[in-house]
Amino acid sequence: MPPTPMPAGKVLDREFLEIRAKILELAASFDRLDRGEGSVLRDPRMKLIEEALPILQRPGADRAEQIQMIFSREYDEKWRNAYGL
């Protein structure tokens, strides 16, 4: 018998403060980027972040997978050779 998922309300009760803290941490990171000298708007890492953020607001149970795929490299069958293994 598969485990029964915890009710959404209980998940929110348990994780609200951690979610809140992570959102505040992201906001602080973006504030530091904005205050920093220069621009990172053309940095490919920022493009990945910009692609990932809207996924957080979409409904569905596979957001983590979608975001992981954004930040992942495509599979290369010859990866062992690339890393000298």
Judge contact between 71 and 48, C-beta under 8 A: yes
Identify the pLDDT of residue 76: 86
| Predicted TM-score of the model (pTM) | 0.77
Q: Which of 60, 34, 64 is nearest to 52 (CA)?
A: 64
Identify the pLDDT of residue 85: 87
Q: What is the pLDDT along the chain (85 residues), one digit of tens a residue?
A: 888 999 999 999 999 999 999 999 999 999 999 999 999 999 999 999 999 999 999 998 899 999 999 999 888 888 888 888 8
Q: Where are the domains of the chain?
A: 7-38, 39-74
Following DSSP, what letter does each residue of 9-63 receive, concatenated? HHHHHHHHHHHHHHHHHHHHHHHHHHHSSS--TT-HHHHHHHHHGGGGGS-SS-H
Identify the pLDDT of residue 79: 84
Q: How many residues does the chain have?
A: 85
